[in-house]
Chain A
Amino acid sequence: MISPDSDIHVRVRGLRFSFGPRVIYDGVDLDIPRGKITAILGPSGTGKTTLLRLIGGQWRPKSGSIEVDGVNVHKQSRSQLFELRKRMGLLFQSGALLTDLSVFENVAFPLREHTDLPESMIRDLVLMNLEAVGLRGARELYPEQISGGMSRRVALARAIALEPALIMFDEPFTGQDPISMGVLIRLVRTLNKAQGLTSIIVSHDVKEVLSISDYAYVISGGKVLDHGTPEAIRASRSEYAQQFLHGRPDGPVPFHYKASKNYADDLLESVE
């Protein structure tokens, strides 16, 4: 893990969380270093999105703690939590743009809600943020008129409008063509470098994410299986990490979903 303490932006300790009987996290410890890009890797269904919602305080863990800037997220009142959230951005996989507002108004939304800035200044800020993601020209369009990749860029412009210190990306590259993926990767890196944003990327696009991250965690089955720098992860001897990195169909994560009978018995069983 990384020290000293003040360099840790998000600290997760002993995190347990479950949906009914389904255990999602079973004692997870994570340290997200400040100002760096940290990747959280794992197969679909391991609850990576859940982790971001837990950090954002939308859901509560069964036990364990999550601290952002030394503040326990789940011990805050609603208004304190909202104050905390103004300093963090979460980029949903879908973009989660407000469909009744134009691209411009979507980016202006947090500014209008949380500041009393004059209209001219809001306009400047929105245009600057849109310019940063290359969509100044698309400001009059509505969310249904732009592609999925563009939506994510608009959502990114919106997420950085209040200049947060922490930004979390939920599967930012999933379902993107190579060009928009390249654009998004470059944006994530530039934002991190230019503004010193702490970035958490949750993803299963291993190659792309490892190429830009400073540190990575591999999560599966509710536990952290491996963590380290991208080089260390690539060189990891963990069978699971290797299966995941190389996309092998069978291994510690079995190809076959667990069945109650063996294959031969199942076939021989007469149908009555």
Chain B
Amino acid sequence: MTALIEAPQSSEPPATRTRTQARSAAWKRRAPLLPALLFTIAVTQVPFLVTVFYSFQSWNMVRPGSQHFVGFDNYVDVFTDSVFLQALGNTVTITVVCVLVAMLLGLGLALLLDRKFLGRGIVRTLLITPFLILPAAGALLWKTTMFDPSYGLLNWAFGIEVEWLSDYPLAAVMTQIVWQWTPFMMLLILAGLQAQSREVLEAAQVDGAGRWRTFVSITLPQLSRYLQLAVLLGAIYIVNSFDAIYLMTQGGPGTASTNLPYYIYQRAFEGFDVGQSSAMGVVVVAMTLIVATFALRLMFRAFDVSRGVK
């Protein structure tokens, strides 16, 4: 009991001790984060900053000593380059169409899989396989065994004679990308479907909602977070699509199926123009960030929702 009476006298020093302790504790908590943070900065941010630096230089790798500062010249060139603008348009088309189509197909497949039936496990295994195939292998296989004008399965199956890769290069590339990414979308959406509360669905049934009504009013809203994530992740990877174009069409015929990653690659590794390809890289990042800001905001809202539920 004496301790009880003495205690208040010593309450001042501990209070200050707590403050310094709190500060060091906060650092201790941050410490585990630092290696990953520094590593990520070193591997992704620093090269990007160097890209920004290069974008203000005129520099052709095959002409040593050609490097000098040119201000915004490269950016002016980039925006007056009709191929760049075409590549930009193709990138947008590929991303939007592929994400949407893959998501719709994924949703359809997920709905087919979201019930018990004979061989469900095998069907799911089959369906995820395109995601596990090397994209490079997938692209080459589609180019040859599927799209080849003389021996391809598509022309044989439909009894037609179409030069898929030269007549519809963009569509052919997108077909391959959609094929590759649909399983990913399907898996995500399937997870969302299976995370639905049975009771809520039953409540809807008891309330007299039919199947379609239940799907639209209950299932889709519950899926929205999964769909958002599917769109976001799908877009991040599909914007960067390179394998399919490089291996199937080489951006051609002409520049008909060139997208930004492929064009930048061409300018850098075939044209050796460091300055201009860097400027294009910076432009791509700027545009991605603008789009991503909206996407990120959406996603953080999703976070908050789940936090609130927890």
The answer to whether A and B assemble together is no
Interface residues, chain B, with chain A CB atoms under 8 Å away: none
Interface residues, chain A, with chain B CB atoms under 8 Å away: none
